[in-house]
């Protein structure tokens, strides 16, 4: 296999890991001020992701770095093209990170309330934008012969892309609420379960709409494999909802994770071997071949990744093991 193809696969894996992990972080972030009725409850909810959210976010940093190193043209076209959307994403991520770290450093309730709502907004915006971006990637955007995006911000905000955004928003929120049923103290976990039921229902409807829309546009379902994975993701979501209702939240979490992974995989599958689709002329699309780095760089990157990724997985996994128990007020930090 060519190294550039391997790196497309690795970037896909990084995004799956990122959305799986940060997906529930975003979900919890959105739910903190909505589910938590007082300060202690909000702290408890936040502390379910407290020890891990920052490490989870590094999956995004790594995916970005991997794109830059392995596919400089993909990185350059995507980031300069989706300029204002990325600015919004960055602003949201900045507010979100600062909110998590700052909110409990003062006793003032107004201070904490302000940061909790900023956390909610700062989690909601990226959860929506990632779906919009992923949908734009597969649907195609105006790219000229020189690999430059020639549209405006509004070319990205199509009805189809918005449905894609709503899909990740609701799926991530569902994923987060299922996560809370496992990690939050009992009373809050019960509340999270009821929320999961409602959010999950909406997620199923949005997913159905997305399937119809995609099929009509000839996107995702134009490739049997991608379409099948997308279908499996939908079934996983339905099953996860049923399991939440039944009370087997552990399996529900596995399946909500599978939903996240399936949606991501289906999109990247549909993309391959293209990395950015030109809506102006199929010949102007960027592919793993014309967007990638030279073999030497890819070789260096491959060795680094093969050594480091397993190590990272081991110590991140160990962190989850250390914090495997439900959060209690005994160990609040944020």
Partner 1 sequence: MELILARLQFATTSIYHFLFVPLTLGLSLLVAIMETMYVRTGNETYKKMTIFWGKLFLINFIMGVVTGIVQEFQFGMNWSGYSRYVGNIFGAPLAVEALVAFFLESTFLGLWIFGWDKLSKKAHVTTIWLVAIASNLSAFWILVANSFMQEPVGYVIKNGHAEMTSFAALLTNPNVWYQFPHTVLAGFTTGAFFVMGISAYHLLRKKHGDFFRRSFNMGLSLGIVSLLLVLVMGHLQTQHLFQAQPMKMAAAEALWNDANPAPFTLVAGIDQKDQSNSFAVQIPSGISFLLYYSLAGGVPGMKTIQAQEAAQYGPGNYIPPVGTVFWSFRVMVAAGGLMLLAVLLAWYYKRKGRLEDKAWLLWAFLWAIPLPYIANIAGWVMAEVGRQPWIVYGLQQVQQAVSPNVSAGAITASLVGFTLLYGLLAVADVYLLTRTAKEGPETEATSKPVTVVEGVSLWN
Site residues for partner 1, 273-312, by CB under 8 A, read 293-294, 296-297, 300-301, 304-305, 308-309, 312
Q: Does the protein bind partner 1 through residue 81 (CB under 8 A)?
A: yes
- Cis ω on the peptide bond leading into residue 56 (within 30° of 0)? no
CB within 8 Å of 15: residues ≥ 6 apart:
63, 264, 268
Nearest distance from residue 166's CB to partner 1, in Å? 24
Q: Does the protein bind partner 1 through residue 140 (CB under 8 A)?
A: no
* Comparison of 146 and 218: residue with beta carbon closer to partner 1: 146
Token pair listed for 38: 């007082």
CA distance 190 to 300: 49
Q: Which stretch binds partner 1 (CB under 8 A): 175-183, 217-225, 254-262, 323-331?
A: 323-331
- Work out which of 97, 140, 197, 231 binds partner 1, going by CB under 8 A: 97
Nearest distance from residue 291's CB to partner 1, in Å? 9
* Comparison of 74 and 170: residue with beta carbon closer to partner 1: 74
* Comparison of 258 and 327: residue with beta carbon closer to partner 1: 327
Nearest distance from residue 167's CB to partner 1, in Å? 24
- Work out which of 5, 6, 9, 68 binds partner 1, going by CB under 8 A: 68
- Work out which of 5, 6, 34, 86 binds partner 1, going by CB under 8 A: 86
Q: Which stretch binds partner 1 (CB under 8 A): 85-93, 217-225, 258-266, 268-276?
A: 85-93
- Given a contact cutoff of 8 angstroms between Cβ atoms, the answer to whether 170 and 199 are in contact is yes
Q: Does the protein bind partner 1 through residue 76 (CB under 8 A)?
A: yes
CB within 8 Å of 14: residues ≥ 6 apart:
59, 62, 63, 66
State which of positions 142-161 bind partner 1 (CB under 8 A): 147-150, 153
**Which secondary-structure segment (H or E) carries 8?**
helix 3-35
Q: Does the protein bind partner 1 through residue 117 (CB under 8 A)?
A: no
Within 82-163, strands assigned E span: none
State which of positions 164-223 bind partner 1 (CB under 8 A): none
Q: Does the protein bind partner 1 through residue 94 (CB under 8 A)?
A: yes
Residue of 278, 299, 298 lying closest to 287 (CA atoms): 278
Token pair listed for 159: 């009805």
Nearest distance from residue 89's CB to partner 1, in Å? 8
CA distance 320 to 297: 33
* Comparison of 248 and 290: residue with beta carbon closer to partner 1: 290
SS3 49: coil
* Comparison of 90 and 208: residue with beta carbon closer to partner 1: 90
CA distance 262 to 267: 9
CB within 8 Å of 44: residues ≥ 6 apart:
36, 184, 185, 188, 327, 328, 329, 332
**105 exposure class (CB count in 10 Å sphere: 0-12, 13-18, 19+):** exposed
Q: Which stretch binds partner 1 (CB under 8 A): 16-24, 62-70, 174-182, 252-260?
A: 62-70
């Amino acid at each position: 296999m060519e190294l550039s193809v391997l790196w497309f696969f690795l970037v896909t894996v990084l995004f799956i890991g990122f959305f799986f992990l940060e997906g529930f972080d975003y979900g919890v972030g959105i739910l903190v001020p909505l589910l938590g009725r007082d300060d202690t409850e909000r702290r408890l909810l936040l502390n379910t992701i407290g020890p891990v959210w920052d490490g989870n976010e590094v999956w995004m940093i790594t995916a970005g770095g991997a794109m830059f190193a392995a596919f400089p043209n993909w990185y350059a076209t995507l980031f300069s093209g989706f300029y204002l959307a990325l600015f919004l994403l960055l602003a949201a991520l900045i507010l979100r990170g600062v909110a998590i770290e700052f909110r409990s450093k003062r006793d003032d309730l107004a201070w904490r309330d302000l940061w909790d709502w900023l956390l909610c907004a700062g989690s909601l915006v990226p959860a929506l934008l990632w779906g919009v971006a992923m949908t734009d990637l597969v649907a195609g955007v105006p790219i000229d012969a020189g690999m430059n995006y020639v549209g405006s911000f509004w070319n990205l905000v199509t009805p189809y892309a918005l449905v894609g955004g709503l899909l990740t928003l609701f799926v991530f929120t569902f994923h987060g609420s299922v996560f809370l049923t496992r990690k939050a103290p009992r009373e809050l976990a019960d509340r999270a379960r009821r929320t999961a039921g409602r959010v999950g229902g909406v997620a199923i409807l949005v997913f159905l709409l997305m399937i119809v829309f995609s099929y009509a546009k000839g996107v995702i379902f134009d490739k049997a494999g991608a379409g099948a994975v997308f279908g499996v993701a939908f079934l996983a979501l339905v099953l996860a909802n049923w399991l939440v209702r039944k009370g087997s939240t552990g399996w529900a979490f596995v399946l909500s994770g599978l939903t996240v992974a399936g949606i991501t995989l289906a999109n990247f599958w549909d993309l391959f071997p293209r990395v950015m689709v030109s809506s102006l002329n199929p010949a102007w699309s960027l592919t793993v071949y014309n967007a990638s780095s030279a073999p030497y760089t890819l070789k260096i990157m491959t060795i680094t990744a093969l050594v480091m990724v397993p190590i990272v997985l081991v110590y991140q996994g160990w962190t989850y093991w250390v914090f495997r128990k439900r959060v209690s007020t005994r160990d609040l930090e944020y």
